[in-house]
Amino acid sequence: ATRVFSGVQPTGHLTLGNYLGAVRRWVDEEQYRANALFCVVDLHALTVEHDPARVRRLSRQAATLLLAAGLDPERCTVFVQSHVDEHVRLSYLMECTAGVGEMRRMVQFKEKAAREEAAGVRLSLLTYPALMAADILAYGTDEVPVGEDQAQHVELTRDLAVRFNRRYGRVFVVPRASVPPVAARVMDLQDPRSKMGKTAALRNGGAGVVHLLDEPDAVRRKVMRAVTDGGTDVVYDRDERPGVANLLDVLAACRGDGDPAGLAEAYGSYGALKRDTAEAVVELLRPVRERHAELAADPGYVDGVLRAGAERARGMARPRVDAAYEAVGLLPVG
Ligand code: AQP
């Protein structure tokens, strides 16, 4: 069966971008057609300035949200990255495979390093893609369903897998990214030239970021106040009219019809488009929020899922990571 791996960082509250770009496909498609693992990648959350209690709380919340969104632990493996040592073990070999130059060229490193400058840029922010490559390669992953912003890291992962295999023999499957046809990059509602992101919410008061747990009225307010572009007609043009294009993308993705340009023709004004988008998002998120409230009342259940998930993940990762250790020349335990 196709092997799928993907993850989400507990750096903030999950957003509509995370949902439309990644999580919804994991729930609706990947878990049914593949042998899939979904991970709260908590080690990645330590690459930027962090508060320990907050990361712990957000890790649990992210795991609970993945289940609330509909991941079924009977079908797929849901776990927390730091519970499975193989990720860090393999990450070191990836650091020994990658070059400093290619790490520095990563867009996410450049953007986040610029942001973190005052606090001091952590070395782990530079080596982040090595850990991400390990996350993916440890499981023999074929496909990595991600939003567009992560596609560059999956490309690097492919390069590292090919390079490692060429040098040391074939240990890794070469994975590919899969990006959704619409809403692969949901933009901030207040700043539609920037990605809607978890940490962006902290920077600008959060008015442009819809969180999965936002109350319906908060969702409506944020969508109704979304920045639109000059002009009044509704056209789909991501470069010239990014605010309106973003609303059309979100609405098309919510409706699952995949045609934002076609939708544009149905609207004569921004107001109607915003109203319909707001309601579509409210209805999309309603069941997730409700189910989250139920699951959050039963932390023992979530802990049990994560414990079993980690156990299963460890069993899947260990043989390949051991093989990689041996292939590079490390002496196996006698
Ligand atoms: N705006 C987005 N549109 C579509 N997909 C997105 N993803 C993230 N933002 C969007 C996808 O969601 C998955 C998990 O994302 P992540 O946890 O790696 O990244 P993030 O939400 O962007 O969180 P950061 O990096 O902690 O926050 P920022 O960017 O605000 O600094 C991934 O598949 C991602 O592609």
Strand pairing report for 35-40 and 77-80? parallel
Across residues 27-47, what is the average pLDDT?
96
- The strand ranges marked E within the chain are 3-8, 35-40, 77-80, 143-145, 176-178
Q: Do 19 and 182 meet the contact criterion of CB atoms below 8 Å apart?
A: no
- Our measurement of the distance from residue 26's CA atom to the centroid of its chain's CA atoms, rounded to an integer in Å, reads 11
pLDDT over 80 (residue 118): no
C-alpha 197 to ligand 1 mean position (Å): 6
Q: Which residue has the tokens 């020994």?
A: 96
Q: Which CATH class is domain 200-293?
A: mainly alpha
Closest to 108 in 3D by CA, of 11, 243, 205, 236: 11
Active site annotation includes 112: yes
155, 161, 162, 166: CA torsion to nearest 10: 160
C-alpha span between 80 and 172 (Å, rounded) = 22
Q: Do 190 and 204 meet the contact criterion of CB atoms below 8 Å apart?
A: yes
Q: What is the pLDDT of residue 205?
A: 80
Q: Of ligand 1's atoms, which has the minimum distance to the CA of residue 112?
A: 31
Q: What is the pLDDT of residue 109?
A: 96
C-alpha 45 to ligand 1 mean position (Å): 12
Across residues 56-75, what is the average pLDDT?
98
pTM above 0.80, yes or no: yes
Taking only the tens place, the pLDDT of each residue in 189-204 is: 999 999 999 987 666 7
Q: What is the pLDDT of residue 75?
A: 97
Worst-scoring range by mean pLDDT, 97-101, 116-120, 153-157? 116-120
C-alpha 23 to ligand 1 mean position (Å): 10
C-alpha span between 289 and 213 (Å, rounded) = 5
Catalytic residue among 110, 195, 222, 274: 195
Residue 208 phi, psi (nearest 5): -100, 5
- Residue 268: CB atoms within 10 A of its CB come to 11
Q: Where are the domains of the chain?
A: 3-180+298-327, 200-293
C-alpha 18 to ligand 1 mean position (Å): 5
Across residues 4-25, what is the average pLDDT?
97
Bridge partners (DSSP) listed for residue 7: 39
Interacting residues of 118 by C-beta distance below 8 A, sequence separation 6+: none
Active site annotation includes 198: yes
Active site annotation includes 274: no
The answer to whether the annotation marks 186 as part of a ligand binding site is: yes
Q: Of ligand 1's atoms, which has the minimum distance to the CA of residue 111?
A: 31
pLDDT category of residue 295 using cuts at 50, 70 and 90: very high
Q: Of ligand 1's atoms, which has the minimum distance to the CA of residue 6?
A: 33
Interface predicted TM-score (ipTM): 0.97
Q: Do 285 and 219 meet the contact criterion of CB atoms below 8 Å apart?
A: yes
pLDDT category of residue 306 using cuts at 50, 70 and 90: very high
Q: What is the pLDDT of residue 51?
A: 96
Q: Of ligand 1's atoms, which has the minimum distance to the CA of residue 188?
A: 1
Taking only the tens place, the pLDDT of each residue in 210-254 is: 999 999 999 999 999 999 988 888 999 999 999 999 999 999 999
The closest residue, in CA terms, to atom 31 on ligand 1 is 199
Q: Do 321 and 94 meet the contact criterion of CB atoms below 8 Å apart?
A: no
The answer to whether the annotation marks 11 as part of a ligand binding site is: yes
The answer to whether the annotation marks 18 as part of a ligand binding site is: yes
C-alpha span between 223 and 56 (Å, rounded) = 30
C-alpha span between 95 and 99 (Å, rounded) = 8
C-alpha 308 to ligand 1 mean position (Å): 26
Ligand 1 neighbours, Cβ below 6 Å, are 8-9, 11-12, 17-18, 20-22, 146-147, 149-150, 184-186, 195-200
The answer to whether the annotation marks 147 as part of a ligand binding site is: yes
C-alpha span between 174 and 14 (Å, rounded) = 29
* Element of type H or E holding 56: helix 52-69
Task: Supply the CATH classification number for the domain 3-180+298-327.
Answer: 3.40.50.620
